Structure 1
Amino acid sequence: MYAELSENLLTGNEMIDSQHKELIEKINAVLKSCEQSNDKVVAVNTLDFLEEYTNYHFSAEEQLQREIDYPGFAKHKAQHDAFKQTIADLQDMLQEEEGPSPAFVAKVQEKVVEWLYVHIEGFDRSVAEYKNMRDNNERL
């Protein structure tokens, strides 16, 4: 199951939504690399690329939250930190195996794809709504 940016994942914030689209493409690249090749090096490199983009995206989101004084910043950042640990755990799992096993792919789907959906629908949508409310309130 590949990740998909459906309507219910759109937050209405252009920066967040465009970065989520890119993030989903990186997640799907990891899944495709596992499907198309049992090559450990390819899987490791693709997962590293996902990690780099995740760090970039989380940094941008956290900067936005600081700029708008988002009241849920600490809880949101804790979610990001937990996800970063998940990526590290997946890297460890991949290092311990000969290549991307079915168990590894299942973990990516469970711990990355499903987490992302829940996170976007709850946490990220809340940030976008808060920013929109704050921006519109300042115009009144």
Structure 2
Amino acid sequence: MSVTFDKSLETGNELIDQQHKELIDRVNKLLESCYMGTEKRTAIQTLNFLLDYTEFHFKAEEQLQEEAGYPGIEAHKEQHQTFVKAVHELLDMLEEEEGPTDAFVEAVNKNITEWLLNHIQVQDKAVAAYVQSHPSK
């Protein structure tokens, strides 16, 4: 399930949108490596990069929320932690297998791709709208 960053995923915040584009690109690369039947090591490296990049991205997003006094910041942080936990679970799943299986790809689509799309379209757009109407204090 390859994803294209389009208007439906734009939040209106240039920094966040650029980071979302990078996240989506990395998720697509992970899925592509799974479909190509690459070795387990490649998928693990891609997941580890995804973890590093989400840490960077989530910190930037949360800082933006703090600066604007976003009232839903704690719930948003919890959602970010849910995503990080899902990526760790995928790493564990991959460690137990010979390589990316159909079940692994299905889990990536559900726990990474679908989560990310929903999070951007609902939660991150709400944050961007709030930040836009409440400049940094």
TM-score greater than 0.5 by the shorter chain: yes
1:70 counterpart letter in structure 2: Y
1:22-58, Cα deviation, whole Å (9 max, x unpaired): 0000101111111123301111111111111111100
Residue type matched to 1:112 in 2? I
Distance 2:94 2:29 in 1: 15
State the partner residue of 1:30: 30
1:75 shift after superposition: 0.5
Partner of 1:101: 101
Equivalents in 2 of 1:60, 1:95: separation in Å?
30
Give the aligned partner of residue 128 of structure 1: 128
2:42 maps to which residue? 42
Alignment match, 1:52 = 52
The alignment's TM-score, normalised by the length of structure 2, stands at: 0.95
Distance 2:131 2:40 in 1: 42
Q: What residue ranges of structure 1 are gaps of 5+ in the alignment? A: none
Q: What is the distance in 2 between the residues matched to 1:97 and 1:64?
A: 39
| Aligned twin of 2:61 | 61
Aligned amino acid, residue 93 of structure 1: M
Match of 1:77 in 2: 77
Regions of 4+ moved over 4 Å: none
1:90 matched residue in structure 2: 90
Query: Structure 2 CA distance, aligned partners of 1:38 and 1:11?
Result: 34
Larger Rg: 1
